Amino acid sequence: MDLQAKISEEKQKALIGKTFEVLIDSKEKNSDVYHGRSIHSAPDQVDGEVLFVSEASHKIGSFVKVKITRNDEYDLFGELI
Identify the domain containing residue 65 by its residue range.
2-80
Q: Give the pLDDT confidence score for residue 1 in this predicted structure.
A: 64
Partners of 19 in the beta sheet?
67
Distance between CA atoms of residues 52 and 28, nearest Å: 11
Give the CATH number of the domain where residue 70 resides.
2.40.50.140
Give the chain's domain count. Answer: 1
Q: Give the pLDDT confidence score for residue 45 in this predicted structure.
A: 64
**What is the pTM assigned to this prediction?**
0.85
Q: Give the pLDDT confidence score for residue 6 in this predicted structure.
A: 78
Contact 49, 73 (CB under 8 A): no
- The tens place of each residue's pLDDT in the chain, 81 residues long, gives 688 777 777 888 889 999 999 999 999 999 999 999 998 776 666 678 999 999 999 999 999 999 999 998 889 999 999
